[in-house]
Amino acid sequence: MAEAARKKGQPRFVCPNCKKNLEFRRNISFVDAPGHEILMATMLSGAFLMNGACLLIAADEVCPQPQTREHLAALNIAGIENIIIIQNKIDAVSKEQAYENYKQIKAFVKDSIAENAPIIPVSAVFGVNINLIVRAFEEIIPSPKVREGEEFQFLVARSFDINRPGTEINKLRGGVIGGSVLKGKIKVGEEIEIRPGLRVKNDFIPIRTEIVSISQGDNLLEEANLGGLIGLGTKLDPALTRGDSLIGHLVGKTNTLPEIISQVELKVNLLEKVIGSEMQIRVQQLKHNEKLLLVVGTEKTAGTVTKILKNSYILNLNPPICPPENSIFAISRIINRRYRLIGYGRLFNQNQ
């Protein structure tokens, strides 16, 4: 905002109001959630990395739109409580229409996780009330606090090779993993372990490597902790990180990560209606031998129902996963030839 108000020739990082030098307070990373219903699993993957969310609603459309309903359901599943509702396009409607849309929003979020979220009217085209959104970030979505003594855990949201084709062997740089720190902190030069890791026949072998760089946008850091998306430069063969091949893996310091699992017992919460379907379809109970899609953190895996117990279900997973503690398992089933979100589950022993 200060940069937008700065005139040519004036110094950078100066407050346009009081003319004093600005001080760095925090860095915020944004994850844009796709709206299409077939990308709900992808949207949930991003949601598990978020400390808060902005629910964007257009003032010139009836609320809720189908995608808005799906996104609110995803926020409920992911348990994201720090929510800001942004009522955009107020410049495209009259005052009366904007207020009517506001009442629709209030009715829509009633009894949901976003019931008490502030609703900020905004015109992105004219830059109206953008300052109020920035203030809401500070008040509603504070930076997470680092707890001393917690073991480092990092969830991989992407991985890639930064070397250009034709790079000489002696100039190759190691693979990069991007994502967010779940807890603890990590420094350049420390050794890490990645699970499940490398698949060898029917087994997985954890990958160990060293951190050679930490980046957050254009900034290079010596240490990373909670908050924002970061990239970890490693000594890994770039072939292991190419094409997002490590998405969903869990990273930690050596011998500190949870075990790799190929079977789970879940306490399942099914939704009343199928998410993403044009028709209002009631969600049926899970069936024996039914094949489902599970999203756990940023990982996707196939789950087959092998046992139906009184208060839980046992599912075999393929491929195996290494989920973070207290993970939520988003559950989708094939309906009309597409995977649709039908509910979520937690490890059964976490609910005792």
What digits encode the pLDDT tens for the residues 71-98? Answer: 888 888 778 889 999 999 999 999 999 9
pLDDT computed for residue 48 by the predictor: 67
pLDDT computed for residue 352 by the predictor: 46
| Domains detected in the chain | 30-140 (3.40.50.300), 153-252 (2.40.30.10), 261-351 (2.40.30.10)
Is the confidence at residue 351, as pLDDT, over 60? no
- CA-closest candidate to residue 234, choices 264, 190, 199: 190
Q: Residue 239: in which H helix or E strand, if any? A: helix 238-241
* Percentage of the residues of the chain whose pLDDT score is greater than 90: 54
Mean pLDDT of 101-114: 95
Is the confidence at residue 149, as pLDDT, over 60? yes
Q: Give the model's confidence band at 107: pLDDT under 50 very low, under 70 low, under 90 confident, else very high.
A: very high
Q: What does DSSP assign to residue 19?
A: -
Q: Which segments of the chain are extended strands (E)?
A: 53-58, 83-88, 119-121, 153-160, 176-183, 186-187, 191-200, 203-216, 219-221, 223-224, 230-234, 250-252, 261-275, 291-296, 299-308, 313-321, 328-335, 338-347
**Using one digit for the tens of pLDDT, what is the confidence trace for 191-238?**
999 999 998 888 899 999 999 999 988 888 999 888 788 999 999 999
Q: Give the model's confidence band at 278: pLDDT under 50 very low, under 70 low, under 90 confident, else very high.
A: low
Sequence length of the chain is: 352
Instruction: Name 29's Cβ contacts closer than 8 Å, sequence gap at least 6.
Output: 180, 216, 228, 229
Stated pTM of the model: 0.79
Q: What is the mean pLDDT of the chain?
A: 88
- Chain centroid to CA 206: how far? 24
